[in-house]
Amino acid sequence: MVIKTEGLSFTFGKQQVVKSLALQVPEGSIYGFLGPNGAGKTTTIKLLLNLLKPDAGNIHIFEQDIKTSRISILSQIGSLIEQPALYQHLTGRENLLNRALLLQVPAQRVEDMLDLVQLTAAANKKAGQYSLGMKQRLGIALALLANPKLLILDEPTNGLDPNGIIEIRELLKKLVAQHGKTVFISSHLLGEIERMATHVGIINNGAMLFQGSVADLQAISKPLVRVDAENTVDAANLLTRHHINVTEVTDEHLLVPYISKQQMGEINALLNKNGQMVYSISKQQKDLEKLFLDITQRA
């Protein structure tokens, strides 16, 4: 495990915001650390980066204890917490060169990182004029300068438009596949994470609700078929008569547990054949909130 914590706990005043967390982040994974606002993600990340001291518990990173090997561990981690700290009046390249000097990293590495995050063309533009997505990518380039083995990113896609999100996603996938990194990334949106993550940890109120591979998560967060139809009640009755389990009916749509593409086709054909007007039929993944309910009800 690249990150392993046991009984990790932290309290702000009287509020326990991290509750006995046992994180397990495998090497070479993209670990999505999920939870709604205020769940304790940033606090956990600060504990991992030794910016806060835990009340209780252990943190092992690269199989070393953070209490005894702080410097060696931190020198192999690149991190980005919330907004990257950029010099707005300097260009993207100058921001990187500055940090390279500080870290005693060769200047060529700056060019390589600009290339990696696709900022070469904008390298001479002032960072203050960058879009939010470009700023985040510059932040990731800064975090990567010292060639860390582990990248810890706190909500790097927050506030980005869909294109910006895709760019970050592709970049992180490349870092893992081609550069052998491990990425720990927090988010409050499951949809953003599940397309890149190999593993997920879901926390709420400081406690871990689920941890495992994305395949494990998908197995318990069963998708649904959503049918938007002219007359949802009649459509639901028809499906029920054909032994299809309808789990929800509203004026606009009905829901059926998803089994396969074929099953979706069969539902569509059945409704059409019986004169039911279908506006749309789609596979739906549950949102985080529903997933939380599933997971907590299962526990």
Q: Of 88, 82, 66, which is closest to residue 2 (Cα–Cα)?
A: 66
**Alpha carbon distances (Å) from 216 to 192, 198, 201, 219:** 17, 10, 11, 5
Region 183-202 residues binding ligand ATP, contact defined as CB under 6 A:
188
Site for ligand ATP in 118-177 (CB under 6 A): none
Nearest approach, Cβ of residue 240 and ligand ATP (Å): 41
Separation between Cα atoms, residue 60 and residue 66, nearest integer Å: 6
**Closer to ligand ATP at the Cβ: 18 or 236?**
18
Residue with Cβ nearer ligand ATP (48 or 271) = 48
Here the tokens at position 132 are 């939010």
Report the C-alpha gap between 248 and 155 in whole angstroms.
33
State how far the Cα of 278 lies from the Cα of 44, in Å rounded to an integer: 47
CB of 68 to ligand ATP, least distance (A): 26
**Distances, alpha carbon 23 to alpha carbons 57, 99, 144, 207, in Å:** 11, 31, 23, 11
- Nearer of residues 127 and 197 to ligand ATP, judged by Cβ: 197
Query: What is the per-residue binding string for ligand ATP in 56-75, x denoting contact by CB under 6 A?
Result: --------------------
Contact between 279 and ligand ATP by CB under 6 A: the answer reads no
C-alpha to C-alpha distance for 52 and 42, rounded to whole angstroms: 11
Contacts with ligand ATP, 15-54, as mask; x by CB under 6 A = --x-----------------x-xxxxxxx-----------
Q: Which is nearer to ligand ATP, 42 or 276 (CB)?
A: 42
Q: Which is nearer to ligand ATP, 142 or 203 (CB)?
A: 203
Interface residues with ligand ATP (CB under 6 A)? 12, 17, 35, 37-43, 188
